[in-house]
């Protein structure tokens, strides 16, 4: 009996240690230091820390102009954090302006040209079909842009968002990344708004914030590597 209790105690202790390590894996990057060049690596981006609706937030925007007529993005990667699989959570705020708001997260990224990303088009949250089914998008640059995916596999890598958020308000996104799939949940929904198979063999890379063409607001970023 004594040997059994000792063995059970060791198992319980190891379980608690493992749980502690799992909790320690949650990373909450300091948004206030977005422009210091130490904690964050900006690519094709300009960033500013501010208070928005009582939240500590980051305003991220692209350096390129929409009139350039080329794909471009603003990327803010967490310096030194290599992401393989896990969960990315963030609060986002765009705008209900037609073709004027694209924002989300990036992972397995190298720079502002090579990455995977999940992003939202808030102006499509409440739009009429077929635009409503283009509210959330997965891409894998440079090969798989939204244009090529919509042309070759329409309706597979983009979808509507449920429950429908306020296009001008804050909403919460949780992106779960595995070795094969990406699942997107919005505002604590139990069912994902989008589930796709990943389109790259790249297993690791940077993780952070993403804005396309224009800009976006981001708060409460939490990264939990698996």
Q: Going by C-beta distance under 8 Å and a sequence separation of 6 or more, which residues neighbour residue 130? A: none
CATH for 202: 2.60.120.560
| Structural domain contains residue 14 | no
pLDDT on residue 37: 83
| Structural domain contains residue 216 | yes
DSSP state of 39: S
Q: Which helix (H) or strand (E) holds 37?
A: none
Q: How many domains does the chain have?
A: 1
List pLDDT tens digits, range 3-25: 433 333 433 333 333 344 444 48
**How many residues would you count in the chain?**
226
Structure tokens that stand for 145 in this block: 């842009």
Q: Is the pLDDT of residue 1 over 60?
A: no
Q: Is the pLDDT of residue 176 over 80?
A: yes
Contact 75, 112 (CB under 8 A): yes
pLDDT on residue 36: 85
| Structural domain contains residue 21 | no
* Three-class secondary structure of residue 213 per DSSP: coil
| Structural domain contains residue 3 | no
d(CA 124, CA 130): 9
Q: Nearest 10 degrees: CA dihedral of 3, 9, 10, 15?
A: 150
List pLDDT tens digits, range 84-122: 999 999 999 999 999 999 999 999 999 889 999 999 999
Domain containing 193: what range?
Answer: 27-225
d(CA 177, CA 77): 17
| Structural domain contains residue 80 | yes
| Structural domain contains residue 184 | yes
d(CA 205, CA 185): 22
Number of Cβ atoms within 10 Å of the Cβ of 108? 22
pLDDT on residue 65: 65
| Structural domain contains residue 19 | no
- Give the number of C-alpha atoms closer than 13 A to the C-alpha of residue 79, restricted to the C-beta side: 13
List pLDDT tens digits, range 197-221: 999 999 999 999 999 988 999 999 9
Structure tokens that stand for 77 in this block: 């990667």
| Structural domain contains residue 220 | yes
- Give the number of C-alpha atoms closer than 13 A to the C-alpha of residue 33, restricted to the C-beta side: 12
């Amino acid at each position: 009996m004594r040997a059994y209790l000792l063995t059970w105690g060791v198992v319980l202790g190891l379980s608690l240690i493992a749980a502690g390590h799992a909790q320690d894996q949650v990373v909450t990057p300091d948004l206030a230091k977005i422009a210091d060049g130490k904690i964050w690596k900006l690519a094709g981006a300009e960033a500013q820390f501010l208070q928005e609706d009582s939240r500590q937030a980051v305003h991220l925007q692209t350096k390129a102009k929409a009139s350039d007529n080329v794909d471009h993005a603003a990327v803010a990667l967490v310096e030194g954090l290599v992401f393989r699989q896990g969960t990315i959570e963030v609060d986002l705020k765009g705008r209900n302006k037609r073709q004027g708001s694209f924002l989300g997260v990036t992972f397995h990224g190298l720079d502002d040209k090579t990455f995977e990303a999940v992003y939202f088009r808030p102006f499509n949250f409440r739009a009429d079909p077929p635009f409503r089914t283009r509210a959330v998008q997965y891409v894998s640059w440079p090969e798989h842009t939204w244009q090529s995916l919509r042309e070759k596999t329409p309706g597979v890598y983009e979808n509507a968002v449920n429950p429908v958020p306020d296009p001008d308000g804050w909403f919460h996104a949780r992106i779960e990344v595995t070795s094969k799939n990406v699942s997107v949940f919005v505002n604590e929904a139990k069912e994902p708004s989008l589930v796709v198979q990943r389109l790259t063999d790249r297993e690791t890379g940077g993780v952070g914030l993403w804005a396309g063409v224009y800009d976006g607001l981001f708060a409460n970023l939490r990264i939990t590597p698996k």
